[in-house]
């Protein structure tokens, strides 16, 4: 057995320049700032304008993370892009690799909706702990604005675009202290962005499916109940594996979907509000990007310090959910 651990040594984030606040959004759909902010905590979101690609925004976030980690793109062994909205269905991690000039790396996409960053963190850590790779770039990025029905007030008010990235490096002491990954495909229909094809005749007797992806559909109440029940369970299980108690958590960093979900989870776990990291008022739900964007902001503001213990949890379509207890940076 090897004795290799992982450390998170750099973070970066990027969002499109254009933002749309609740008041302006309510000019195109029947909603209002009061409804959106009181039910969700969201006030603003950034939207990619059609010329901005996911890979370009993710590359910018990655460059910032790589600079903070004080390594060069040539040092990166593996790039994982957690996304559900790749620029190319064949994957966008390769485009990011090209734009970064990370010639030695192998790059692939990972799809687990809003749980993508947590699933990616655990996946990356396995490659490091087996001794295979030393430096991994993990990105969470999504442009859900491409796939939102902008006439559906139940969903369009919730989402925004962006990307966040972290650098994970091999080290002696493992800073990933415990984790739990879960999925439940029997509840898949609660939240979808699915392909809908029509049988189209290619030649006599042979049909193929032609169509496109349909806008996001969501049973909001079901997702709300699922998150409030499953997220605390996953965090408790991760804490158990880390041999830690809730009191040892410095920061609760949840997928930024809804302030009410964050408050309810914190209350169930008995974590005081001042330990809850929240920036969804500015960005809305950025799917796989929300955890690394919030982490990066908290690190750059000096809130999260080296050695701090973070309980992070993602949840979303699949259904998927997961939690990870980790320490930021290297404190010794």
Residues forming the site for ligand ACO (CB under 6 A): 31, 35-36, 39-40, 113-114, 153-154, 157, 191, 220-221, 223-224, 227, 257-258, 261, 285, 287, 316-317
In whole angstroms, the minimum distance from the beta carbon of 304 to ligand ACO comes to 23
Question: Cβ closer to ligand ACO: 191 or 295?
Answer: 191
> Quick one: 254 or 298, whose CB is closer to ligand ACO?
254
Tell the smallest beta-carbon distance from residue 273 to ligand ACO (Å).
18
135 is a catalytic site residue = no
Q: For the chain, how far is it from start to end, CA to CA, in angstroms?
A: 24
Six-digit token string for 186: 């029997």
Name the catalytic one among 22, 46, 156, 255: 255
Cβ at position 36, least distance to ligand ACO in Å: 6
Verify whether residue 270 is a known catalytic residue: no
C-beta pairs of 304-310 under 8 Å, 24+ apart in sequence: 304/250, 304/251, 304/277, 304/328, 305/329, 305/331, 306/330, 306/331, 307/331, 307/332, 308/250, 308/251, 309/177, 309/244, 309/248, 309/249, 309/250, 309/251, 310/249, 310/250, 310/251, 310/252, 310/253
9 Cβ contact partners less than 8 Å away, ≥ 6 residues apart: 68, 69, 70, 167, 168, 169, 329, 330
Output the CA torsion sign for 250, 328, 179, 113: positive
Complex with ligand ACO: residue 113 or 310, whichever CB lies closer? 113
Q: Tell me how far the alpha carbon of residue 16 is from its chain's centroid.
A: 16
Q: Which DSSP string corresponds to 158-216?
A: TB-EEEEEEEEEEESS--EEEEEEEE-GGGGGGEE--EEEEEEEEETTEEEEEEEEPPP
Taking the complex as a whole, how short is the minimal distance between the CB of residue 330 and ligand ACO, in angstroms? 32
Decide whether 82 or 170 has the Cβ nearer to ligand ACO: 82
Q: Distance between CA 119 and CA 85 in Å, rounded? A: 16
The span from the CA of 63 to the CA of 101, in Å, is 11
Pick 94 or 314: Cβ nearer ligand ACO: 314
Catalytic residue among 22, 135, 258, 285: 285
Catalytic residue among 114, 135, 156, 258: 114
Return the residue nearest ligand ACO (CB atom).
316
Q: What is the DSSP letter of 285?
A: B
CB of 223 to ligand ACO, least distance (A): 4
171 is catalytic: no
Q: Rounded to an integer, what distance in angstroms lies between the CA atom of residue 256 and that of residue 283? A: 9
Q: Which is nearer to ligand ACO, 178 or 316 (CB)?
A: 316
User: Six-digit token pair at 268?
Assistant: 């169930």
Cα(214)–Cα(28) distance, rounded to whole angstroms?
20
The minimum distance between CB 5 and ligand ACO, in angstroms, equals 30
CB nearer ligand ACO, residue 54 or residue 168 = 54
- Residue 30 CB, nearest approach to ligand ACO (Å): 7
Catalytic residues: 114, 255, 285
């Amino acid at each position: 057995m090897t004795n290799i651990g992982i450390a998170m040594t750099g973070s970066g984030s990027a969002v499109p320049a254009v933002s749309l606040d609740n008041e302006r959004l309510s000019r195109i759909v029947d909603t209002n700032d009061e409804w959106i902010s009181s039910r969700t905590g969201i006030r603003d979101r950034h939207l990619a304008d059609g010329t901005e690609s996911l890979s370009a925004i993710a590359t910018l976030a990655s460059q910032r993370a790589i600079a903070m980690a004080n390594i060069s793109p040539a040092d990166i062994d593996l790039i994982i892009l957690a996304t559900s909205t790749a620029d190319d269905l064949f994957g966008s991690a390769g485009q990011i690799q090209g734009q970064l000039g990370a010639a030695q790396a192998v790059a692939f996409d990972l799809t687990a909706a809003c749980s993508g960053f947590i699933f990616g963190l655990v996946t990356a850590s396995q490659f490091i702990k087996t001794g295979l790779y030393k430096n991994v770039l993990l990105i969470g990025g999504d442009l859900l604005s491409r796939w939102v029905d902008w006439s559906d007030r139940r969903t369009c008010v919730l989402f925004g675009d962006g990307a966040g990235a972290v650098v994970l490096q091999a080290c002696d002491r493992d800073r990933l202290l415990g984790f739990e990954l879960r999925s439940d495909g029997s509840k898949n229909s609660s939240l979808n962005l699915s392909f809908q094809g029509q049988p189209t005749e290619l030649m006599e007797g042979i049909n193929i499916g032609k169509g496109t992806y349909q806008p996001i559909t969501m049973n909001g109440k079901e997702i709300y109940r699922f998150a409030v029940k499953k997220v605390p369970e996953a965090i408790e299980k991760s804490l158990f594996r880390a041999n830690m108690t809730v009191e040892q958590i410095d920061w609760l960093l949840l997928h930024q979907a809804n302030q009410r979900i964050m408050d309810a989870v914190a209350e169930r776990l008995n974590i005081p509000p001042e330990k809850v990291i929240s920036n969804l008022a500015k960005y809305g739900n950025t799917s796989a990007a929300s955890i690394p964007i919030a982490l990066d902001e908290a690190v750059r503001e000096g809130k999260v310090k080296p050695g701090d213990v973070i309980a992070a949890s993602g949840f979303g379509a699949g259904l998927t959910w997961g939690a990870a207890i980790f320490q930021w940076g290297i404190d010794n």
